[in-house]
A and B are shown apart, each in its own frame.
Chain A
Amino acid sequence: MDLSPLYISIKTASLATAITFFLGLYAARFVNRQQRWQGIIDGVLTLPLVLPPTVVGFFLLLVLGRNSLAGKLLEKIDINLVFSWEATVIAASVVAFPLMYRASCGAFEQVDEDYIYAARTLGMSEEQIFWRITIPLSWPGIAAGTILSFARALGEFGATIMLAGNIPGKTQTMSTAIYSAVQAGDDDTAFLWAFVIILLSLVIMISLNYWSNRQRNLGEWR
């Protein structure tokens, strides 16, 4: 039994979540501060959430593929992203990003502005305020966004198969493994991976609920 799809999926989803975590937080901070164009930037950043993943995959191919400017530059330093493991991370990150970004935006808006103002008059720098005031105070929302992003990255299929392909042992994740198994008529393998994904997702969602209830009920300072 080849367990590589499990490892690859977990590795991909973990790294993609880490990347998405920081990108989402900073994007939310940036958009929150914008006076003009806020609606447009917000729309563009949320787009991967509503577009079919194949569209995302198609655009990623156009941007990172061999014929693109970025692809040519990367080829000069001997990097080819398409059909590599890194591509699964890129695809999963792009698709999971809007969840993290939107959750962070919502969480930041919940923070009472007086805390931020007080921190400023006390002389804390904007960077200090962001990490020591804003993020701790909006932590429940951010944690929820992180968990949702991980779940989304774990289940990513469309963009991954277009950008990274479905190479066993290299880019084959659990979702793409199910696709191959069904096409080959191997129902047992398909069942196995489907079961693993359902189990993992369920654990994630239950822990999310537990986490948010705990925050609400006995959070140490709320």
Chain B
Amino acid sequence: MALSVDIIMKRQKFCLAVKFEAKEEIMGVLGASGCGKSMTLKCIAGIEKPDSGKIILNGRTLFDAAKKINLPPQERSVGYLFQNYALFPHMTVEENILAGIRQKDKQAQLARYSKIFYLTGLEKRYPKELSGGQQQRVALARIFASEPEIMMLDEPFSALDSYLKWQVELELADILKEYQNTVLFVSHNRDEVYRFCDRVAVISQGNLECVSTKEAVFHNPETLAAAKLTGCKNHSRIERLSNDTVEAIDWGLTLRVTNSISQDVSYIGIRAHDLKLANDETVENTFEFEIVQCIEDTFSFILMVKHQKATLGNNALLRVEVSKEIWRQVSCDRQRIYLTLPEEKLFLLKA
């Protein structure tokens, strides 16, 4: 087991409780901003000190509150890519990379990593003279040159313009493919996490809620937080009516579900593109909705719809995404519409 983390940390009102293990893989850490993602990385790096627990990396104990072990960051061998890259602004590219090299033969290492990260020719430039993508490459070169046993990337694309982002993302994917150690990829962006990672940990309000394969987290989220973070726009409180039917309170719908309903679920969710247009109410889980708003998005139409029995709250509206061709065929200035919520697309969620 490459990395094992089990820590608790309290700071004023915020409480971080994180427990997970990662192998030599790219593990995503998905969470909203301020949920404790960066704090977790800082604890692993030795910048912040947890109150209790343990952090073990490749058999070395980095932190153990019970045994009073707390290695300084210098001895942890942890690579940390900061959100803003933290390139030393008064040093050239070359000096920045040299700052992280621990071996004797510094020049050879420098030449090697400059080449890998396409920095040859930029050695004498200062960070502010580089583009966002180049800055990220320098930051990565600097970290890789220090030969860490684990790589932690904190929102690696947040400082980039969107037109640069995709190019940088492709480059980073290539680089990480070659890296044999553990990578923790922290992001609030579900698409980035899905593209990069094998497994995903979901953090919500300081608590690590689940760790599983990305397929499981995205296609079958277990908690409300996981559903929201993976982009599920529609969710409603539920009341259990029988083994396979629930009352979705916010939406005002009575729904049939496939899975038998366990006691601890209290929400139901469905993705905006999983709702299907229908002609009448004969199919199961089909209802008539009033169209409250119709918004033209880049490649689809977004409908905000409401059932007549829905509550007044924020979650009463359902968001539906329909491709433009389909919508143009059926629309004709409609006020009302039939929609099916397919059983197999409904998520039953824990709070």
Contacts and interface: CB of A to CB of B under 8 A. Distances in A.
Given A117-B45, A117-B82, A221-B128, A123 B88 contact: no
Interface residues of A, number: 19
A194 interface: no
A136 B88 CA distance: 10
A124 B84 CA distance: 20
B314 to A, nearest CB: 36
A120 B76 CA distance: 10
Contacts of A132: 99
Nearest to A112: B86
Contact of B146 (A112, A122, A125, A220): A122
A118 B82 CA distance: 8
Contacts of A222: 89, 128
A36 B254 CA distance: 61
A123 B102 contact: yes
A220 B127 CA distance: 11
B142 A122 contact: yes
A217 interface: no
Contacts of A115: 86, 88
29 contacts: A115-B88, A117-B42, A117-B47, A117-B80, A117-B82, A117-B86, A118-B88, A119-B99, A120-B47, A120-B74, A121-B45, A121-B47, A121-B73, A121-B74, A121-B80, A121-B146, A122-B142, A122-B146, A123-B77, A123-B100, A123-B102, A136-B90, A137-B89, A137-B90, A221-B89, A221-B90, A221-B126, A221-B128, A222-B128
Interface string B29-46: 000000000000010011
Interface in A5-51: none
Given A137-B89, A137-B90, A121 B78 contact: yes
A82 interface: no
Contacts of B74: 120-121, 123-125
Contacts of A117: 42, 45, 47, 73, 80, 82, 86
Interface of A: 112, 114-115, 117-125, 132-133, 136-137, 220-222
Nearest to A125: B74
B41 to A, nearest CB: 10
Given A114-B86, A119-B99, A221 B127 contact: yes
Contact of A124 (B80, B90, B99, B148): B99
B100 A122 contact: yes
Interface in B42-57: 42, 45-47
Given A123-B102, A221-B128, 6 more contacts: A114-B84, A120-B72, A136-B90, A137-B89, A221-B89, A222-B89
A212 to B, nearest CB: 17
The 9 closest A-B pairs by CB, nearest first: A120-B73, A118-B86, A122-B100, A114-B86, A221-B89, A121-B80, A136-B90, A117-B47, A221-B126
A193 to B, nearest CB: 41
B348 interface: no
A123 B80 CA distance: 11
A114 B73 CA distance: 13
Contacts of A114: 82, 84, 86
B137 to A, nearest CB: 16
A216 B340 CA distance: 63
Given A117-B47, A119-B99, A122-B100, A133 B80 contact: no
Interface string B116-128: 0000000000111
B73 to A, nearest CB: 4
Given A117-B82, A117-B86, A118-B80, A123 B127 contact: no
Contacts of B80: 117-118, 121
A125 B75 CA distance: 10
Nearest to A135: B90
Interface string B153-190: 00000000000000000000000000000000000000
A121 B128 contact: no
A133 B87 CA distance: 11
B317 interface: no
Contacts of B89: 137, 221-222
B109 to A, nearest CB: 13
Nearest to A137: B90
Interface string B132-150: 0000000000110010100
Contacts of B78: 121
Contacts of B142: 122
B79 interface: yes
Interface in B183-235: none
A124 B127 CA distance: 19
A211 to B, nearest CB: 16
B82 A220 contact: no
Given A115-B86, A117-B82, A137-B89, A122 B99 contact: yes
Contacts of A120: 45-47, 72-74
Nearest to B139: A118
